[in-house]
């Protein structure tokens, strides 16, 4: 798979090609990679789009390792994506992001409005409310980590990666919780936010607060948890496809 050096990071990525197709960028969630997270979605989208999908810094085959998180890690990841697209010579994209990748997706039209034609997210609301702090802490100790995840991210790195993420997210919560919500008025492109009603990290109210601030946004709720694309795949695809048809 190709790689790209940006901002001191090495990003492994997939590229389905197709110079005459609109470009769609897929951004994976926490502890995912582009190929482990989005295999079925890439195959579904590739007839219609040039799909570009990076593994963010420190995930999977991307470096540097170990992945270290700071309170501003979402912003740093967004800056990486902008630099990566610039290196590829891409100047117009549709962004589709899940979970942590959704948080990065919400920042991109704020950081680089001329680049982003539309955004679709699920499992992300641009804000971490204080009442999810205990849930974030519950990821430690990481007794839930599978052998597959250890292999994917490196057995020597995975536990430190998890602890660093927990610490950074708690710092975000303790500093007010904002990731992109307070700047959502600057998201002027079309925005589709999808959420599961039973998502423990992303309450509907927080999603509505961001959508109400963004001028061209809408929220669609699903009767499921965090991974809408896995728990409600048919409804998810119908909703995302309607959005993409509308913006391309």
Q: Which CATH number fits domain 3-127+179-247: 3.30.420.40, 1.20.1430.10, 3.40.50.2300, 3.40.50.1820?
A: 3.40.50.1820
Cα 67 from Cα 37, distance rounded (Å)? 18
CB 218 within 8 A of CB 211: yes
| CA dihedral over 69, 73, 78, 83, signed as positive or negative | negative
Q: Express each pLDDT in 40-85 by its tens digit.
A: 999 999 999 999 999 999 999 999 999 999 999 999 999 999 999 9
Q: Is the pLDDT of residue 143 over 90?
A: yes
Q: Express each pLDDT in 73-118 by its tens digit.
A: 999 999 999 999 999 999 999 999 999 999 999 999 999 999 999 9
HEC sequence for the chain: CCEEEECCEEEEEEECCCCCCCEEEEECCCCCCHHHHHHHHHHHHCCCCEEEEECCCCCCCCECCCCCCCCCHHHHHHHHHHHHHHHCCCCCEEEEEECHHHHHHHHHHHHCCCCEEEEEEECCCCECCHHHHHHHHCCCCCCCCCHHHHHHHCCCCHHHHHHHHHHHHHHHHHCCCECCHHHHHHCCCEEEEEEECCCCCCCHHHHHHHHHHCCCEEEEEECCCCCHHHHCHHHHHHHHHHHHHHHC
Domain ranges of the chain: 3-127+179-247
**Model pLDDT, residue 1:** 83
> How many C-alpha atoms does 140 have within 13 Å on its Cβ side?
16
pTM confidence score: 0.98
Q: Express each pLDDT in 182-211 by its tens digit.
A: 999 999 999 999 999 999 999 999 999 999
Q: Is the pLDDT of residue 149 over 90?
A: yes
Q: Is the pLDDT of residue 37 over 90?
A: yes
With both helix axes pointing from N to C terminus, report the angle between 100-111 and 73-87 in degrees, rounded to the nearest 10: 70
Q: Is the pLDDT of residue 19 over 90?
A: no
């Amino acid at each position: 798979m190709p790689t790209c050096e940006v901002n001191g990071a090495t990003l492994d990525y997939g590229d389905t090609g197709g110079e005459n197709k609109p470009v769609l960028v897929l951004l994976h969630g926490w502890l995912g990679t582009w190929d482990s997270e989005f295999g079925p979605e890439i195959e579904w989208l590739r007839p219609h789009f040039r799909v570009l999908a990076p593994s963010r810094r420190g995930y999977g085959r991307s470096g540097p390792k170990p992945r270290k998180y700071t309170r501003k890690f979402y912003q740093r990841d967004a800056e990486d994506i902008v630099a990566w697209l610039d290196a590829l010579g891409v100047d117009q994209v549709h962004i589709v992001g899940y979970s942590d990748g959704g948080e990065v997706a919400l920042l991109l039209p704020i950081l680089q409005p001329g680049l982003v034609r539309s955004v679709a997210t699920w499992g992300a609301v641009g804000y971490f409310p204080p009442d999810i702090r205990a849930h974030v802490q519950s990821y430690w100790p990481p007794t839930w980590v599978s052998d597959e995840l250890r292999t994917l991210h490196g057995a020597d790195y995975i536990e430190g990666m998890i602890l660093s993420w927990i610490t950074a997210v708690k710092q975000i919560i303790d500093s007010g919780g904002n990731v992109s919500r307070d700047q959502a008025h600057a998201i002027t492109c079309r925005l589709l936010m999808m959420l599961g009603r039973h998502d423990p990290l992303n309450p509907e109210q927080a999603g509505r607060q961001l959508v109400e601030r963004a001028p061209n946004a809408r929220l669609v709720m699903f009767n499921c948890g965090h991974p809408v694309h896995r728990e409600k795949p048919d409804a998810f695809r119908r909703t995302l496809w309607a959005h993409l048809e509308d913006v391309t």
